[in-house]
Amino acid sequence: MPQASSTRSAITGRVSRPSAVQSWVMTGLVPLLLLMASQAYGNADQWRSEGWQTDFSKSSIDFSEILSGGPPRDGIPSIDNPKFVTASDITNLGPLEPVIRLDIDGDVRAYPLQVLTWHEIVNDVVGKTPVAVTYCPLCNSALVFDRQVGEQLLEFGTTGKLRNSDLVMYDRQTESWWQQFTGTAIVGALLDTDLRMIPSRVESFERFAKANPDGKVLVPNNPGMRRYGSNPYVSYDSRNTPYPLFRGDLPTDIGPMERVVVIKQDGAPKATTLSHLRDQTSVTLGNVEVTWESGQNSALDTDRISKGRDVGNVAAYAIKADGSRGAEVVYDVTFAFAFLAFHPEAEIIQE
């Protein structure tokens, strides 16, 4: 059995021993190993001993909120030199597999979750805009950020730490730590800086390829590096509670693992359950229209993402003054426990 310091790395297949990973998943030992990893709290002295040059005197959080997820800094490696193939030439994606679709000034790209699950961050330039495309499997949070902060161009990596079960990123220029769920610097020289979120959507590869046959699709630089196409978190989104890596209070008036659609605009976020949206197919949240259509695999269900159950496609559009549909806006489909951990006073429309 691996030591706690490397537990998450091993159980999530971030080592080159897929047979062991598959065995642990099938025998149901994942929650036990996660429980071991979740005991590893950190502090500034420990983190300095790991080689961090972060300014830990600047922080907006209690350090006890940050847990080690198992792997060290960059143990989950970001993709910094992304490789793409034209959508019409892709043969290794199931038609309903989820991809993050990003369109900036007509430069249209897709980032499959079967790749992001194993790397969590892609540093890219799309339509001349430097972006960080991010995905945290434990929160099912897929968000895109502008990497330009003032005059500074940042490149992001993974700290190996979690807060509220969510990925804590860092920038390689100042080594400030950033919360992926909010895009805010929580520790370091850039404390309280907010990254600009860029509208994107998670949709099936089939939908992306039909609308963008010449669109660029991210592929692994080394196809044998990870078990791409597999889900190391088998049945995660069928659990009643998140893994023990989450140590906060669980909501009592909604299932912790209930999927919620969150509109992330200026001001307080607005949210509704995915089940309510699915029943209505269209819901208005403030000045945003949110829509749902069937036909997208869950990335956190079965061992093969292409076999995951249908969770549908969500899109969000601003509503113009005349009532017509406007541009797409930033949204996220995440779990209730994560949303309420970061926004405890928020309301979630359930019916």
Evaluate whether 133 touches 140 at the Cβ level (below 8 Å).
no
**What one-letter code names the amino acid at 37?**
A
For residue 198 the two structure tokens come to 């860029």
Does the pLDDT value for residue 1 go beyond 60?
Answer: no
pLDDT at site 351: 84
Return the H-helix or E-strand segment holding 117. helix 113-119
What mean pLDDT do residues 307-327 have? 97
Look over the chain and give the mean of its residue pLDDT values, rounded to a whole number. Answer: 89
Does the pLDDT value for residue 266 go beyond 70?
Answer: no
**Long-range own/partner contacts, residues 175-183 (CB < 8 A, 24 or more apart):** 175/52, 175/53, 175/54, 176/54, 176/55, 177/54, 179/342, 180/134, 180/136, 180/139, 180/141, 180/143, 181/136, 181/139, 181/141, 181/143, 181/334, 181/338, 181/342, 182/342, 183/143, 183/145
Give the residue with greater pLDDT, 27 vs 188. 188
Distance CA 277, CA 56 (A): 42
pLDDT tens, position by position, 47-60 = 999 999 999 999 99
pLDDT tens, position by position, 74-95 = 999 999 999 999 999 999 999 9
Tell me which DSSP letter residue 76 carries: S
pLDDT tens, position by position, 320-345 = 999 999 999 999 999 999 999 999 99
Confidence of residue 222 (pLDDT cuts 50, 70, 90): very high
Confidence of residue 220 (pLDDT cuts 50, 70, 90): very high
Does the pLDDT value for residue 3 go beyond 70?
Answer: no
- Pick from 72, 74, 73, 66: nearest CA to 7: 72
Distances (CA, A) of 122 to 11, 178, 278: 22, 15, 30
Distances (CA, A) of 211 to 96, 204, 218, 311: 14, 11, 17, 20
Does the pLDDT value for residue 307 go beyond 90?
Answer: yes
DSSP 37-57: HTT-B--HHHHHHTT----TT
Distances (CA, A) of 121 to 211, 250, 327: 25, 27, 25
Distance CA 342, CA 344 (A): 6
Distance CA 224, CA 15 (A): 11
Q: Which domains does the chain have, with CATH numbers?
A: 83-219 (2.102.10), 236-349 (no CATH)
Distances (CA, A) of 176 to 173, 196, 197, 304: 8, 16, 18, 35
pLDDT at site 188: 98
pLDDT tens, position by position, 8-38 = 332 333 233 333 333 333 334 354 445 445 4
For residue 321 the two structure tokens come to 């003054």
pLDDT tens, position by position, 115-166 = 999 999 999 999 999 999 999 999 999 999 999 999 999 999 999 999 999 9
Share of the chain above pLDDT 70, in %: 88
Its pTM stands at 0.90
Evaluate whether 320 touches 328 at the Cβ level (below 8 Å).
no
Give the residue with greater pLDDT, 40 vs 297. 297
Evaluate whether 133 touches 99 at the Cβ level (below 8 Å).
no
